[in-house]
């Protein structure tokens, strides 16, 4: 009954198998093939198929050292990209009104909770706006007048 499993196990002995880069290749190939269906451009479809073949080639490859190098390169690239994304973007944040408050327990707000917020005075209307601390560079929108400004928390 589990014969095919045993055969698969035997087949996979000494072969590389699946990794993060392999996962990325499979997903990328699916996206490209789907896209090629939408835009009906044959080259895009072939590129998707090529990605898929490459993904399967890596899984059954016996050159484990080379595949691990590829995966490490991919992971390094991904880490670099996500760092860049984090540093480069400005998050939008709708500031909480200190009177009506924002979130649970905002009215009155206990000491412990206030310690997690930074307070800003709106440069347009003077309303005190509170935003959570440690969000990096954020765009704060005043709840009273809708004026927005960029600041660090
Ligand atoms: Zn304002």
Q: How far is the CA of 88 from the centre of ligand 1 (A)?
A: 26
- The mean per-residue pLDDT over the stretch 121-126 comes to 88
CA of 126 to the centre of ligand 1 (A): 6
Last residue of a domain, one of 50, 70, 87: 87
Q: Please give the tally of structural domains in the chain.
A: 2
Task: Kindly give the distance from the C-alpha atom of residue 51 to the centroid of ligand 1, in angstroms, as a whole number.
Answer: 52
Per-residue model confidence as pLDDT tens digits over 74-121 = 999 988 887 766 555 556 666 665 544 444 434 444 455 566 888 888
Q: Are residues 55 and 40 in the same domain?
A: yes
Structural domain range at position 13: 3-87
Which residues are in the CB-under-5-Å shell of ion ligand 1? 122, 124-125, 127, 142, 144-145, 147
Helices 64-88 and 20-39: crossing angle in degrees, nearest 10, is 70
Element (H, E) at 17: none
Tell how far the Cα of 121 is from the centroid of ligand 1, in angstroms: 8
Residues 72 and 114 in one domain: no
102 with 136, same domain? yes
């Amino acid at each position: 009954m589990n014969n095919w499993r045993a055969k698969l196990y035997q087949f996979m002995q000494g072969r590389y198998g699946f990794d993060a880069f392999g996962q990325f290749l499979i997903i990328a190939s699916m996206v490209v093939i789907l896209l090629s269906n939408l835009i009906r451009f044959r080259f895009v479809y072939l590129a998707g198929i090529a990605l898929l073949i490459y993904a399967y080639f890596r899984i059954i490859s016996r050159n484990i050292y080379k595949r691990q190098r590829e995966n490490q390169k991919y992971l390094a690239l991904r880490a670099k990209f996500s760092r860049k994304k984090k540093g480069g973007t400005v998050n939008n944040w709708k500031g909480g009104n200190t009177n009506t408050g924002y979130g649970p327990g905002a009215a009155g707000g206990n000491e412990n909770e206030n310690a997690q917020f930074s307070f800003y005075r709106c440069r347009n209307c003077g309303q005190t706006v509170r935003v959570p601390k440690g969000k990096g560079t954020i765009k704060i929108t005043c709840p009273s007048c809708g004026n927005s400004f960029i600041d660090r928390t």
